[in-house]
Structure 1
Amino acid sequence: MSTSEPVVLAIDAGQTAIKVRVERPATAPVDRLFPGIRTHEPLLPQLADVARAVAAEQHLTVDVVTAGVSGLTRHESDASGLHRMLGLPADVRRVILAHDSVTSFLGALGEGTGAVVAAGTGVVTLGVGRTRVARVDGWGNIMGDAGSGYWIGREALDAVMRAHDGRGERTALTGLVTQQWPDLESAYIELQAAEDRVFIVASLARGVAELAANDAVAAQICLRAARELSVSATSALRRVAEADDVDPPAVCAIGGVFRADVIRERFGELVREAFPTVRLEPSHGSGIDGAAALAHLSPSHALLSYVSTSG
């Protein structure tokens, strides 16, 4: 097998699903789907299990294994450890492991420069310059994730309880929340006891966006979310900018939060106010595209400092 045309087994590991792609020379890619990573169990053995299962199913001799992983910690970012666990033939020359913000960036903007804001239940922004990389937010719902689906849902719950107490403006969001919790005064007890409370709170974001056209409170929450997301994007761009940059920066907004027109449009306005020459680009691809791109990342690319490599 030519070293310029490796057999790549790429993994995009999220909490909802694990996507796997096999890329072979002169053959159409093969995609497989597995249940999401189990956050209460060690991560690397789960990735190794998936890689072995796909290699056996496809009768593969794999050259490169890559993985972009949601919530990857520094402790878990151990490509050598994953390499040892794979148990595949010695032909596996390289293993590359990265946080999913890296693979989201590569999927969205390729090897270009700029910032990618990925906003779903949580949010993380990655800025990439010619020599610098900056991660902004992605610090979880307790310490960060400003403008995320969870953040929007939490703001809605706060607004509803303020209205209930007479501390805040009446809002149609009350109807949205009482669909799930008819007794508002016991809702906080039910939420605290729910194992999937982060998902439950984030699931309210869609309803908030739908009400924004006719409800001032919902509209303000969406506009504040757009501002938080724009601040993350512009902060990332500033951190990676260099004095001799010539090309205008690119910004790509991905994830379910940006399906809301009110958020996406206001986000674009605010980013342009801060960077008038910015290019707002649609995503070129997905997280699994970015995971596969790790195998071909230029040896001089700034993102190499954000990946763990074995071999």
Structure 2
Amino acid sequence: MILYTRPTSVNCSHGRFLLTTEGGLVIGIDAGGSHTRALVAGTDGQRVGAASAAGANPVVHGWDQALTSVSGALRAALVGVDPNRVRLLVPAIAGIAAKDASRLQADVRSLCHALGFACPVYPVSDLEAAFAGGTASTNGVVVLSGTGAVAGLIHDGRLVRQIDGYGWLVGDEGSGFWLGREAVRAALAALDGRGSATGLVADVAEALDVTQTPDGLVTEVYQHQPIRLAELAPIVTKAAAAGDAVAIDIIRCAADALLTAVSALHPPGRSRSPTRIVLAGGVLTGPGPVADIVIERLRAQYDRAPVLGTDGAAGAAWIGLGRILQHRAPSTHARLIQSAD
């Protein structure tokens, strides 16, 4: 979770930056464990530039590498764009604690200076950006499952409550990393006799290019960054589709974890359903059994279908437009999201 510290270098009124917007641009940055995306957009929602780079979650990659990825995406997105037209930059970076918000703001400003321009920086939560990437509404629930997993309650466009997002070591249940780790654990349990036989043994061993032995699997896993296990998530999906009982159980457990988070934020049966439920992250926005289960059960529990937030950078840019414009039309949101696809 991230708490925003308002910049002191610009004048603000009612939460908005008093800046000239004619011909102006906003930049939205969405950075997670696997990817960093930057989107440059006009005040009409039209995309002007976009680029991606490696992941920039500082918990996963370290602070310096995170800034390197953000800088790379930002530099590439600005190719052919006059950076002096940029009125506001909105970074949404996973893994940023509240205590690091000011540091992030200062470091991103430094990146801008290094690229030859200066503008206010307005950091937001990655959950706020993910929610805005799926809807123009300002109230609802967002659940994100990509490399990591986290859910949040959004009120007036701000994150007011968060569940999970605690990182690979103690949380991120139902994430891509969690799926990959469970695949390895299931394979080890099958090999040493604690668990049921499963095709995941051969699948995991093949993916890691090791022998089908506990020693082979464990040695390879510990030679790399833990987050690499997220790359094994598709193996679980494929095995479940083929009818592997152990893989099917892992898929169900992942979906249950994500649904439990939503229920904790907004219990089913309340007199008022959340205005919107937004699903984000590759596990939930791409085709696959986890997404299928989550979507079906959310539709049944809340009597409405969730919407997909497929571009957090577009969501961050939409938030930025709300800082510099007196009014944002729904058609602008639609144009911004569509142009980012």
Shorter-normalised TM range: 0.7 to 0.9
Equivalent pair of 1:147/1:224 in contact (CA under 8 Å)? yes
Q: How does 1:1-311 map to 2 (within 5 A)?
A: 2-3=20-21, 6-24=24-42, 28-37=47-56, 39-42=61-64, 47=70, 51=74, 58-61=81-84, 62-78=86-102, 80-82=105-107, 85=110, 86-87=112-113, 92=118, 94-130=120-156, 133-179=160-206, 180=208, 181-186=210-215, 187-195=217-225, 197-199=226-228, 201-213=229-241, 214-238=243-267, 246=272, 248-258=274-284, 259-272=286-299, 275-277=301-303, 279-283=304-308, 285-297=310-322
Structure 2 CA distance for partners of 1:246 and 1:120, relative to 1, 3 Å: closer
SS at match of 1:140: coil
Structure 2 CA distance for partners of 1:209 and 1:137, relative to 1, 3 Å: same
Range with bigger deviation, 86-95 or 96-105: 86-95
Structure 2 CA distance for partners of 1:15 and 1:177, relative to 1, 3 Å: closer
Could you tell me how far 1:221 is from its partner in structure 2? 0.9
Structure 2 CA distance for partners of 1:49 and 1:220, relative to 1, 3 Å: closer
Range with bigger deviation, 9-18 or 57-66: 9-18
Q: Over aligned residues, Cα RMSD in angstroms?
A: 3.4
TM-score, normalised to structure 2, is 0.73
Matches of 1:230 and 1:126, distance apart in 2? 12
Structure 2 CA distance for partners of 1:208 and 1:80, relative to 1, 3 Å: closer
Matches of 2:185 and 2:54, distance apart in 1? 33
Structure 2 CA distance for partners of 1:45 and 1:207, relative to 1, 3 Å: closer
Cα distance per residue 1:213-255 (max 9 Å; x no partner)? 311111111111110010112222259x9x8x75654322222
Matches of 1:276 and 1:14, distance apart in 2? 29
Aligned residues: 292
Q: Mind listing any 5+ residue stretches in structure 2 that lack a counterpart?
A: 1-18, 325-341
Equivalent pair of 1:18/1:33 in contact (CA under 8 Å)? yes
Amino acid of the structure 1 residue aligned with 2:25: V
Structure 2 CA distance for partners of 1:168 and 1:98, relative to 1, 3 Å: same
Could you tell me how far 1:97 is from its partner in structure 2? 0.9
Matches of 2:307 and 2:258, distance apart in 1? 16
Residue of structure 2 equivalent to 1:308: none
Amino acid of the structure 2 residue aligned with 1:33: S
